[in-house]
Structure 1
Amino acid sequence: MEIRPATTADAGALGELVILMYESMGFDVTDPAADWMVALPRWYERRLADGSIAAFVAEQDGRVIGGCTVWILASLPREGSPDGRRGYVAGMSVRPEWRSRGIARRLLTAGLDWLRAAGADFAELHATKLGQPLYESVGFEETPAFRLRL
């Protein structure tokens, strides 16, 4: 099993992994023609091509079995982050039959290493219940957050 940087050729597989992640969060994934599901591969293709995101995949025998996506967000400077460079981790997903083998940890490590190299002062993510123990084990702390649909 290999962890490697994703390319635009991985866009479809990364989209499938995000759908698996959303399914575990209770999203309705029964309509493959849903606009958000159709948009996922194009989203990955565009952003991987323009460098606005980085993604890492776990590959076994030519099949993508896990993925992690990261990017830098602009933020106001604050204590511990004088440049206001904040990393975001998303799309962490491993196919169910490959879970509990340390693959997610290796993907997360690759993503965090990329964020550090890109100058992020800290990283944030939204955790599923399944992923929370992994994130806590590498030092993520729960913080209050609010969301408003516009």
Structure 2
Amino acid sequence: MREVEGYALRRATPADAPAVARQRAQMFVDMDTLTPEAAAAEVPLWTDWLRGALASGEYVGLLAEWEGTVVGGAGLMVFPRIPTLADPATQKGHILNVSVDPAHRRRGLAEALMEAVLEEVRARGLRQVTLNAAPMGRPLYDRLGFVESTHPELRLTLEPPA
């Protein structure tokens, strides 16, 4: 992993689940997707899920620390996909939870975290990786070579079974 002066980059463990969940909450607040109250209400649910997912490897987290405190992070999840002749890979990655605390921005942490996640993507032999970009992150993702997808996503939310 690339170093950023004064910061330590490392893999997340299940013990880091609360910090990752709090960062995820702040990310949604920063994007005006959730109010601070709504984001805070999600943190316990996300923490519980992340503990298990970090332990199983279902979620791979990379963290940036400043003086022992987590100040940034990025995550990777891997999903099965149907292979094609153009891309015979049977898995694809999705990057999520890219966030740096406001006081630590503009120091290269997000780029170092993204490079670390992309190292993980390459180490797994994945050929395809996606992410949902917030406007703040677009210049970084553009520099790293991400492009708009030609397949827009549609979503349907079903009511839970009665």
TM-score relative to the length of structure 2: 0.86
Q: Quick check: 1:45 aligned with 2:51?
A: yes
**3-state SS, counterpart of residue 101 of structure 1:** coil
Distance 2:49 2:62 in 1: 15
Which consecutive unaligned segments of at least 5 residues does structure 1 have?
Answer: none
User: What SS does the aligned partner of 1:59 have?
Assistant: strand
> What's the CA shift for 1:32?
6.2
1:44-79: CA deviation from partner (whole Å, max 9, x where unpaired) = 110011111210000010000000010211111124
Q: Specify the alignment match of 1:61 in structure 2.
A: 67
Aligned mate of 1:12, from 13, 18, 37: 18
Residue 148 in 1 paired to residue 152 in 2? no
Q: Which 5+ residue runs of structure 2 have no aligned equivalent?
A: 1-6
CA distance in 2: counterparts of 1:51 and 1:102, whole angstroms: 26
Post-superposition offset of 1:112: 1.0
Following the alignment from structure 1 to structure 2, what is the Cα–Cα distance between the partners of residues 111 and 21? Answer: 18
**2:126 is the counterpart of 1:120:** yes
Displacement after TM superposition at 1:119 (Å): 2.0
Secondary structure of 1:57's partner? Answer: strand
SS in 1 for 2:58: coil
Whole-Å Cα distance in 2 between the matches of residues 80 and 121 of structure 1? Answer: 11
Percent identity between the two aligned chains: 34
The answer as to 2:89 corresponding to 1:83 is yes
TM-score if structure 1 supplies the norm length?
0.93
CA displacement at 1:111 relative to structure 2? 0.7
Q: Give the Cα separation in 2 of the matches to 1:84 and 1:67.
A: 27
Poorly superposed stretches of 4+, deviation over 4 Å: none
Matched, 1:70 2:85: no
**Hey, what's the Cα distance between the residues in 2 that align with 1:46 and 1:64?**
19
Once structures 1 and 2 are overlaid, which stretch shifts more, 37-46 or 140-149?
140-149
8 Å contact kept, 1:80–1:121: no
**Kept in 1: contact 2:29–2:39 (CA 8 A):** no
Cα distance, 1:138–1:79 mapped onto 2, change above 3 Å: farther
